[in-house]
Chains A and B, each alone.
Chain A
Amino acid sequence: MLPRLFTPVALAAALLAPSLVLASEPESPTAPPADNPQPWYRPRHVVLQTAGGLGMISAGAGYTYFNDKVDTDILLGYVPKKYAGSTLTLASAKFLYSPFTIRFSDKWQLKPVSVGAYFSYTHGTLNDEERGQYTRDYYWFSSDTRYGPLAGGRITYVRPAKANGRPRNVSLYYDLSSNDLYLHSYLTNTKGLSLGQILVLGLGVKADF
């Protein structure tokens, strides 16, 4: 199992490394306020994640609103054939609300609770429904569209802001999720299944830019 995990972990480590190297450098003076506001559509951060049902590795970008309390991330994920029977590409959207921020120091912040939901579409499944293959409602579920709740947290390392005032923070996060079908299985079998069996863990890193 470890070699399979190592790649995403190494990637996460590589993305994080520059911030850790910079940690020992003297802090730059307070950045001047941004005089050129960024266009609204410019993403606020990039994201790299492993697992969470959204790919062996998934990468994307995201937006933050409402005083840094709400995040929307758009991810593109990849699962190699040897882990799922065919090469899968997943397009996902995550929505997270983090009501609290704990500031330990100038450099470290914690968002202990994030709750939200995700939606994902999987491209590349082998026996995907073809027109006319099934009568109407033969299967009541989709084989490639999943959605479900998320909950997690994140720890942020505050790096000196850019010259234009934009933050360059780096966060590590985790989230626990489940999908509509796992939840349906659990809710109809609360004796025969445990909640732990339907939970999925995702780990990732977010970098503001």
Chain B
Amino acid sequence: MLQALRSRTHSSLLLLAAAFSISSCDLLEFSPNDYRAPADERDLTAKNLDKLRQLPLPAGDTLRFVFTGDSQRYYDDADDLVASVNQQPGISFLIVAGDISDFGFAKEMRWVNEKLRKLKVPYVTVIGNHDSVGNGREAYQEIFGPLNYSFIYGDTKFIMTDTNGREYNFDGHIPSMPWVNQQLADLQGARRQIMITHVPPQDEDFDPAVRAPYVQALREAKNLVFEMNGHRHSSSVTQPYNDGVWYVNSDAFSERRYMVVSVWGDKQFRVKQIKF
């Protein structure tokens, strides 16, 4: 090697060879905000929804899915959660209600994906406040996809919305009411709909200026089964506004509990809590 370094050509070749061998791994990180990732670890929402489309639910059948939130930095627990969910019969997919990462780094999102990709079913996510810190919003879009999106599975339309108002300094635009209203107004052929967000409207991290129009939009929505959240690390199924709208709050990975949610009819549902 020392001989080779004496010649300029040889040294360039050596440097190139070193670059080749190192570029295949993740070690050369430019910054913790560096969100470069291999192709199979990007656009995960679209990829998981593609997988879900391969497993269609017959029309009229009861839909069953796993609901949880706040995987942030609980990698030990994530292994156990995956093992437990893989034992559940008859579920179609899993939802993480935000805070996939703790510090808004793409690397954390990829570490969680490393666990959740071992699920037998696909999973989808919505952005949480911790995913919005620093350049986290950009990292989330790179690794997962859009901050607001919807999809239809079986007879159910799922609407996933960024409600992390504090992360936008309560600028009056989060959640985006024009988008939410447009989504709630059109079932696109589905029989019922479900709203999924991270911060619940009764929380102080929800933009107070948007709270009333948001709650009202849910109240007026046709066949809304419930609104689902993460953020609070404690499970509940309540009607905080006494207006007939159910709000379901998930457990966090740290609580070592998740929900198996069954939905049928126009807006019937049952929530079963599983300890793992």
Contact = CB atoms under 8 A, between A and B. Distances in A.
23 contacts: A2-B23, A4-B23, A5-B28, A17-B8, A20-B6, A77-B31, A79-B31, A84-B34, A84-B135, A90-B31, A125-B135, A126-B134, A127-B134, A141-B103, A143-B134, A185-B111, A191-B75, A191-B79, A192-B76, A193-B75, A193-B111, A197-B111, A201-B22
B112 to A, nearest CB: 10
Q: Which of B2, B5, B24 has the most CB of A within 10 A?
A: B5
Interface in A62-93: 77, 79, 83-86, 88, 90
Interface stretch (B11-19, B88-96, B172-180, B231-239): B11-19
A185 B108 contact: yes
B103 A79 contact: no
Query: Which are the 3 A-B pairs with shortest beta-carbon distances?
Result: A85-B138, A192-B75, A143-B134
Interface majority SS (helix, strand, loop, mixed), chain B: helix
B133 A139 contact: yes
- A: contact size bracket: 35 or more
Interface in A1-51: 1-2, 4-6, 9, 12-13, 16-17, 20-21, 23-24, 50-51
Given A84-B34, A126-B135, A134 B19 contact: no
B73 A146 contact: no
B244 interface: no
B136 interface: yes
B137 A126 contact: yes
Contacts of A151: none
Contacts, number: 154
Contacts of A133: 166, 169
B2 A108 contact: yes
Contacts of A88: 31, 33
Contacts of A12: 15
A200 interface: yes
B28 A201 contact: yes
Interface string A169-209: 00000001001011011001111110001011111000000
B2 A122 contact: no
